[in-house]
Every structure is written in structure tokens, then in C-alpha cells.
A and B are shown apart, each in its own frame.
Chain A
Amino acid sequence: MNLTLGIDTSTDVRVGLAKDGQILASRAVHDRRAHAELLLPLVSEVMDQAGAQFAELTAVVVGVGPGPFTGLRVGVVAALTLAEVLDAEVKGVCSLDVIALDWAERGDAPADFVVVADARRKEVYWARYDAAGARLDGPFVTKPDQVPELPLAGPGAALTGRVGVGPEEFNAGLLAAGADRLTAAGLEPLYLRRPDAEVPTKRKSTLVMPRIAMMGPR
């Protein structure tokens, strides 16, 4: 038996469970600011409702973004820790790929399309896919007007000023069930942006540089 837990915190909080490739649960809590609070209670609830024991998990698959950094790390560290202590396999996948796979499996995906997510600061994350959901290009972070004029899917589609026609949300159940069909993207979050911090270039006559340097994006 293959019991796979799927976790994605690249937008809000999403948890799925699949047994031998069949979705047992796909849950979401629509809160983008409380990943650390909500993720593990949701994982625990999903396991309980499925009548599954943590010791039975054989794999944990996690969306490694792109997405807001703090929330993303909550999902990734939880997946890594669960896999470590349960001796389960762990796999990171590009979160946008899950939406592409969803559209491909629905059967009406165009030959060339784009999945878009909100990157905040008036930018979007996006990647280009073929009809089978294979990633052709990306992921990138750009201004919304740089997203190619192709059919759109994903939670950030509307930010381009156009209308999305594909799946809008991450399906964590599919993330778990489709783990084998999703390309491994490593276990580092896909940050795409460097940390914000100013390097002091020369000694200042008035000491204004705080020990805590400039805040990075949340």
C-alpha cells in the first residue's frame, strides 16, 4: 500500500491524502496569513478523518512554490520533518505544476497555456505548459503585463487583467495522488527572489543601521 500526504502552502493552506493513487481527501483552509497556525491541525484532521495512522505514510509530497516565503517554508519544513521522523519518502514539486496537471487531467487543456499565482508587490509568478501539463518554461516572477497572451489558469490569473479559463486553485488531493506524475523540483522553496537587504557600503557618520536589517517579504 502506498499512502501519500500532499501539502501545499504556496497560497493558503492545503492538505491532501491519497492511497495507491486514489484521492482520499483534499482540504483547504482559505487563510493566507496563518500557515504556521493552521497547517498541522489540518494535516492531523485529514489523517483522522481518513482513519489513517501517521506511521502508515509512505510518502510526503510538498508544493515548493513559488509563493510568499514565510508560508512556503511552513509547508516545506513540515513535509521534511514528517518524512524524516516517519521514514517516508519526500518529494518537492513546483506548485504551479499541480494546477497544470489538474487541467491536463480534466481533458480540455489547450496546447499551450500559462498558470499564474500572486507574487504580491504588483508581480505574479507564472509558468507555461503544454496540453499534457508538462512545463515548457518558468517559473518566473514578473509584472503581470509580461505574462504571455495564452489561456490562463491558477489563482493569480485575474491579476493579469484577463480571465482565467483553467482550474483556479491547488488541488492538494491531486498533489498526493499525482505525485508520481509530477516532476521533482527539489526540496528548496522556489524563492525566485533574492532576500531584501541593504549591504552597508561605507561607514556612516550617524549610525542608523539597525542590527535587524531591512525586513524581507513575508
Chain B
Amino acid sequence: MSDSGGPLVLGIESSCDETGIGIVRGRELLANEVASSVAEHVRFGGVVPEVASRAHLSAMVPALRRACASADVDLSELDGIAVTAGPGLMGALVVGLSAAKALAVALNKPLYGVNHLIGHVAVDLLDHGPLPAECAALLVSGGHSSLLHVRDITGEVSELGATIDDAAGEAYDKVARVLGLAYPGGPAIDELAAQGNPKAIAFPRGLTAGKDQAKHRFDYSFSGLKTAVSRWVETERLAGREVPTADVAASFQEAVADVLTAKAVAACNYLGVDTLLLGGGVAANSRLRTLLAERTAAVGVTLRRPRPGLCTDNGAMIAVLGSAVVAAGRRPSALEIGADPGMPISTVLA
């Protein structure tokens, strides 16, 4: 183990469209290099797996080189190599996994194949220190919308609920397309919504009806909302009326933020925890942040959110989770592990 500050771990992330290399010593961030292929996906209006995979291959070694230079550590001092083993896109995951395995054998270091989603929670250790004994976490991004119960970030995480259809970020992308806005939709809608009336149109809140409480109390659904927005806009257009895009954006965003925050706060109450952690790329959304801050404060729950630069996919979140896993004395992954596109949340370490 390194002399001070906890295990020194290099983390690799390649589950979707960001290639990330992070280096941490315990909870100290030493390097965080991210190369994004998002610009290459814009014209497709979504992440194209093969395009993302090609970009990972081109970006991996340059990102590694930059991370090593900025951390200024000798790789021979590493206590382990952590890598996203899943969930994510298969072709993208194997690029990072293979790079991690190559580092592990070349440097003779243990390999830790970790869960990407739990990395989104772990990254807050860098900003706000150790987690309480128990907390809830809300992860929202283009790829995920999940509510988690975290008891031990290195071994005991369970899923309370998740989206049963689209992720929140996907709904943003689709609504952005309906409104003629750019991909990715999150920032574009957030900006437009600032000029609109969030109460102008009552869009549906998925899975909030009484009948859904038994089976889907903490699950999300954004597919119906997306369709409702699309139909509403279509109706206006067919009737020859000008579409109030700012009101549509604001009302849509309000529906998303309302249901995300209501269920997250209900989850805290249900679990009896006093801390809620917000992670994932959509955590940067202004309305979600404000509403969640209001609603958690109202019930005395502490809201933790990593700095925006660490909310999107990156290598530091994988490195810090790896470091926590090493510190907890968990057994390294076998060199034979594969990528697991559907890695369950109950699996922290492959």
C-alpha cells in the first residue's frame, strides 16, 4: 500500500461515449482525463455503439499518457487497476477492460472490474468525504435513472427502483428532437426552459398513480411523458398554431424533475436515511437540482452532489471506487472476467 492517504488506484471508464482515465490516492484526486466522442454522435441523434467503440480505441492511450503526466506518479506504485466491467455498451466496455488487463499484467497489479453505476455514487467521496452508514442515491443520466440504497459502497448496494423504459436523459434527447433542439437534449432543454412557464402544460407523471404504488413505488417511466409531449406538439402544429417551445420545455422538465425528486425523497423516508446523493450527467440540470434541494431540505435530508465535472462519466469515479474496494480488502477480479453490459447493481465487483 502507498505511504499515505489510502490506496493508489488508476481507473478506466469506457461504458458509453466518454473515455476516462482517473488516478486517485484514497479520496485525493490526482488525475482525471476524459475524452468524449459526443460530437461524433450528434448527427445520429444518439450514441452509435460502433462509433463510440472506435473513438475509445483512439482515445485510450493518449488519455492514459495525459493522466500519468498530470498525476505525476510512478505506475509501479499503483495498488490496483480498476475498470468499468458494466453496465454499458459491450463493444465500448471491452476496449477499457482490455486496456486495464494489459496494465494489470504488464505492471503485475491486481485488477478490479467494478460497476459503473456505483462509481457514480463513489465519486462523491472525492468531494464530500466518507458516506454515512446508510444513504439513498439518485442516478440520472442519458443511460440510467435509478434509485439506490447504499449500505457499503464496496459490497452492499441494492436497487430500490429504476426506469422501466427510457432513461431520463433519453427522454430529454427525444423531446429536444421534437422541439428542433440540438443533441444532447439536456443542456438545450434546460436553457430553453428557463424562459418558459413550467405550469403551462400538465404533462403526465409516470408511475405516480395509486395503482402503481404496489409494484412500481420507486420505479420511473418516461416513455409516456415523451409521447405526450410529442402528441401535444403535433396537435398544435396540425392546428396551425405556433408551438410555445419554451413552455413545452419548461413543463416537460418540471414533469421529469417532479417525479424524480418526489420518488427520491419518498425513498429516503421509506429507508429512514438522512442523506441523499445525486449523481449522473442529468445531476447538472438546474431544475432538478433546485427542486431536489427544496424537497430534501423540507424533510431534513442532507443532499450530496459531486461537482458537475465529476457527475458525467469519467475515470476518477472508477478509480475512487477501486480505491475503496482495495481499502476494504476485497478480492481482486480474475484476469478472465468479461464485460457485462447488464451488470446488476448488486454486483459491485466482478
Instruction: Please give the residue numbers on chain A whose beta carbons come within 8 Å of chain B beta carbons, in ascending order.
Output: 34-41, 43-44, 47, 54, 69-70, 73-82, 84-86, 188-189, 191, 195-200, 203, 205-207, 209-218
- Min Cβ gap A78→B in Å is 4
| B97 contacts the other chain (CB 8 A) | yes
A78/B101 in contact, CB under 8 A: yes
A195/B90 in contact, CB under 8 A: no
Q: Which of chain A's residues has its CB closest to B172's CB?
A: A211
Show 18 residue pairs from A and B whose CB-CB distance is below 8 angstroms, ordered by the A residue: A43-B105, A70-B91, A85-B106, A197-B50, A197-B51, A200-B177, A203-B178, A207-B177, A210-B170, A211-B143, A211-B169, A212-B46, A213-B44, A213-B46, A213-B49, A215-B50, A216-B91, A217-B50
Which of A43, A74, A206, A214 has the most C-beta atoms of chain B within 10 angstroms of its own C-beta?
A74
A77/B54 in contact, CB under 8 A: no
Of A39, A198, A205, which contacts B44 at CB under 8 A? A198
B51/A41 in contact, CB under 8 A: no
Which of B60, B102, B169, B174 has the most C-beta atoms of chain A within 10 angstroms of its own C-beta?
B102
B338/A34 in contact, CB under 8 A: yes
B50/A196 in contact, CB under 8 A: yes
Binding-face segment, B1-9, B202-210, B226-234, B240-248? B226-234
Of B60, B97, B167, B170, which contacts A80 at CB under 8 A? B60
Q: Do A203 and B180 form a contact, CB below 8 Å, given A69-B53, A197-B51?
A: yes
Of B48, B61, B64, which contacts A216 at CB under 8 A? B48
A35 and B91 CA atoms in complex are apart in Å by 11
| B108 contacts the other chain (CB 8 A) | yes
A39 and B100 CA atoms in complex are apart in Å by 12
Q: Do A211 and B173 form a contact, CB below 8 Å, given A37-B336, A38-B336, A81-B106?
A: yes
Main secondary structure, interface of B, reads helix
A28 and B140 CA atoms in complex are apart in Å by 43
Of B54, B61, B336, which contacts A81 at CB under 8 A? B61
A214 and B177 CA atoms in complex are apart in Å by 17
A17 and B119 CA atoms in complex are apart in Å by 37
| B337 contacts the other chain (CB 8 A) | yes
B98/A40 in contact, CB under 8 A: yes
A207/B46 in contact, CB under 8 A: no
| B271 contacts the other chain (CB 8 A) | no
Of A40, A191, A196, A206, which contacts B101 at CB under 8 A? A40
Which residues of A lie under 8 Å from residue B48 when comparing CB positions? Answer: 195-197, 213-214, 216
Q: Which of chain A's residues has its CB closest to B170's CB?
A: A211
| B99 contacts the other chain (CB 8 A) | yes
A212/B106 in contact, CB under 8 A: no
B94/A212 in contact, CB under 8 A: no
A75 and B107 CA atoms in complex are apart in Å by 18
B227/A207 in contact, CB under 8 A: yes
- Min Cβ gap B126→A in Å is 25
A70/B142 in contact, CB under 8 A: no
A39/B98 in contact, CB under 8 A: yes
Besides A78-B98, A189-B57, 20 other A-B contacts (C-beta < 8 A): A38-B336, A40-B104, A47-B105, A70-B53, A70-B94, A77-B99, A80-B61, A80-B99, A81-B60, A81-B106, A84-B61, A84-B65, A195-B50, A198-B44, A205-B234, A209-B177, A211-B167, A212-B49, A215-B50, A218-B91
Which 3 pairs from chain A and chain B are nearest by CB? Answer: A216-B50, A195-B50, A40-B101
B337/A37 in contact, CB under 8 A: yes
